Amino acid sequence: PDGNITWKFTTAAAPANFVLINETDADTPGSDTAEFVELYDGGAGRTDLSGLVLVFYNGSTNTTYAAFDLDGQRTDAAGYWLAGNAAVHPGLTFANGALQNGPDAVALYAGDATQFPANTPLHTRGLVDAVVYGDAANTPGLLALLLAGENAVDEGARGAADAHALQRCPNGAGGQRRTAALRPGPPSPGAPSNCAV
């Protein structure tokens, strides 16, 4: 017999493991008051970042120097989320000068900041994405954060480290733990990568 059928469903946000480190700016003009790390969910928007942790690695020791829980954080409607100095209006604020200029790394893990106290040795358990930046010759230990064949990237590769950020070009390109799509260019925190040559 014919009848009315009612369907009820919910849509899910993009899974957290789709999130990428889309742009980083460690070396900014003056006393480093515009540093940031930008995450991007591919444009899905409003992706819940709970259960992820942003971790900073020191390239001299291959150990952590900072970690930040992202519980309760969400990407914006366009899919972007920022951690950074107050000047860039981030979702999560860290102190001016806190993001080291390199050679260092920024990594995104599934986990909790309590798993990454200062001086925790580098590991890849739960690793979602990473960017190793600075002079490639001085980052051999950090390269374990990346997929085989990927390299460190240099914010100063175009001769203006303090005026450029490292960003995926085109926006969101390359894939997790891959650095080949990262290029230095004018910073664009919370917006599509500025990929003009």
d(CA 36, CA 188): 10
How many angstroms separate the Cα of 93 from the Cα of each of 4, 6, 22, 88, 97? 52, 46, 18, 9, 12
> What's the whole-model pTM score?
0.90
Residues 69-113 have pLDDT tens digits of 999 999 999 999 999 999 999 999 999 999 999 899 999 999 999
Residue 36 and residue 189 in contact, taking contact as beta carbons nearer than 8 Å: yes
| Rounded Cα–Cα distance for residues 135 and 102 (Å) | 8
Q: Give 9 or 116, the one with higher predicted confidence.
A: 116
